[in-house]
Each structure stands twice: as structure tokens, then as C-alpha cells.
Amino acid sequence: MREEARAFWVTAPGRGEIRSETLAAPRAGEVVVRALYSGISRGTEALVFAGRVPPGEWQRMRAPFQQGEFSFPVKYAYSMVGLVERGPDELAGRNVFVLHPHQSRFIVPAADAHVLAGGVPAARAVLAANLETALNGVWDARPHVGDRIAVVGAGTVGCLAAWLASRIPGCEVELLDINPRRASVAKALKVPFAEPAAATRDADVVIHASGAPEGLATALDLAGEEARIVELSWFGTQQVPLPLGGPFHARRLTIASSQVGHVAPSQRPRWDSRRRMALALNLLHAPELDALITGESEFEALPDVMATLAESPGDALCHRIRY
């Protein structure tokens, strides 16, 4: 029997709609998942929604279960939590996380359905993809016990990176943002907060996650002698000027990219993406992470919600979609 589903598609820059589609019958080794919640990964999804993915990155930027192309229409997202309605006995009836776009029901290979760690609420598990990105970024940053660590940008990924870094013994972590209202989120995460002008200088490690060129300039300013700056932001088609005429060379600073599509080199000989995802899901036991979910909407409202978040996000961090 063929079954119906509803899915969110971006149909043109700044415009989306919900479409009905028919699911094929599941094959051996596949599961049928009914959506419970999905999360909007606001930075990347906003760039996709606005049509700001460079053509040269169209293939590398494809999400695991994306349909369509970035030239539109495209079905793109990767933070889905659902209930397995049909599948192998070990998965049937279990809540799972899947890197899948916003859709009411869907079919995926059983290997791509990650069972939630016991005790992790389905509503919090929408943070798994962002937490996996932050985890990979902290691995790329290579902090040591006792380091001074600055995280520039208190968006969802920045907050998660600061929270992870703060759990390393002896580290002095400071989360920075130009929005003073982010201080309340930092407090919930038990991470010290500062606006850039008041930030501590001479950091051993700097993680940049603001998504703004000015934030990267701040990251360079905060870095101490021979420090490492890890870039977690993705700018799409935006050109980013860098102030490299100041102390950049004299301090022998390093700027390193971090991208979740590959496990950090330091871990790659022993870790794969599935083991990394299992760790991210286990870390979601922490109730303080609920502070990062700043709104919730019904699935049918997603076209208007996405347009609002892309145009004027305000204080939004992770916005949760309820099915």
C-alpha cells in the first residue's frame, strides 16, 4: 500500500511550500519513520532558503536525503526526530534521529536511523546535528587541559561548542556575542559570557561561529601568540574580508576550517560518523541544553516560519517544528 506524506520544499529564493507526496513501499533493510520533531539549522538553512549556496558547492553541500537542486526547488534539512513505525524488530517502536529534511513521514535505510540514547527526550534530540557539528569543531580546535578558549558567536553551534569546551578540566571558556541577551543562554549553560569589547585577550584557542565577517575579525584580535582560530561559520556566497595587515603574521596565527562532513583528522583513524553521532546523542542527556530551543511551531506553518527566521531571526537559536 502506498502512503502519503507532507514535505517542505524551498521553491525559489525566500519562498517555500509544503507539498504532498506518495511514499514507495519500503524495501528490505528500510524503515518507515513518522516525524515527531525537526529542528531548523538556522545558519545553513537560511543560506539555502535565500539561494546563497555557490554553484561550485552544490554537490558538496548536498544533505543526506536531499531532493532537488539548489537551483530550486529543493528539499533540504537534516535535524529530524521520529518514531519507527515499521522496520526491524530492534528499531520498530523506537525514537530515532535521522539526517532528513522536514517531512511528516519518510523511508530511509535502517542504518541511517540513530536510536536515541535512553532518557534523551525526542523534543531535545533535534539538537543532535548541531551538537555533532560543534563536537567536530572542538576536535578540530585541539584544546588542551587548562587552555583559555574564546568562542565568538552565541548561535546554536557556538553555544554548543562553548558548552563542550567548558567541560574540559581547567579550561577557561568565554562565549562572546554582540547581542547582550545571549548572556541568559550562556548562564543556563554555565559558560561565562562577554561582549567583544570586554572579552579576555590572548586566548590559546579561538572558535569562530558568528557567521559574520566582523566576528572573524574579533576572533583574530582575541588570539594569543601562535594560537589556532577554528572557523565554524559557513558564509555561502558572501565575501569575507580579513584584517591580515595587523598582528596576524607577527603572532603567527593559524586559521583552520572545520566542517562536519568529515570527521576531524585527529579522530579519523578510530572514529566514523556513526560513532560521532552516537556520542552527540549521548551528550544530549544534559537538560541545560533545552535553553537552546527558543521557539516551536506546527509543521504546516513552516513556510512562514522559515521566511521570518531567514529575514529577521531576532533572538532565535534552534527553532523546533512539531508534527
Each residue of 167-226: pLDDT tens digit?
999 999 999 999 999 999 999 999 999 999 999 999 999 999 999 999 999 999 999 999
The whole-number average pLDDT for the span 123-138 is: 98
Q: Is the pLDDT of residue 292 over 90?
A: yes
pLDDT at 1: 61
Where do we find the cell 532558503? 49
Closest to 52 (Cα-Cα) out of 312, 242, 235, 306:
235
Q: Is the pLDDT of residue 42 over 90?
A: no
pLDDT digits (tens, 9 = 90+) for 63-99: 999 999 999 999 999 999 999 999 999 999 999 999 9
What are the start and end residues of each CATH 3.90.180.10 domain in the chain? 3-124+284-322
CA 311, CA 56: separation in Å to the nearest integer?
A: 25
Q: Is the pLDDT of residue 41 over 90?
A: no
The third-level CATH classification (topology) of the domain covering 131-257 is Rossmann fold (3.40.50)
Closest to 158 (Cα-Cα) out of 218, 92, 94:
218
The whole-number average pLDDT for the span 111-130 is: 97
What are the start and end residues of each CATH 3.40.50.720 domain in the chain? 131-257
For the whole prediction, is pTM greater than 0.85?
yes
Where do we find the cell 559558560? 191
CA 30, CA 32: separation in Å to the nearest integer?
A: 7
CATH 3.90.180.10 corresponds to the domain 3-124+284-322 = yes
**In this prediction, what percent of the chain has a pLDDT beyond 90?**
97
pLDDT at 43: 86
CA 180, CA 196: separation in Å to the nearest integer?
A: 10
The whole-number average pLDDT for the span 37-62 is: 94
The whole-number average pLDDT for the span 104-108 is: 98
Q: What is the mean pLDDT of the chain?
A: 97
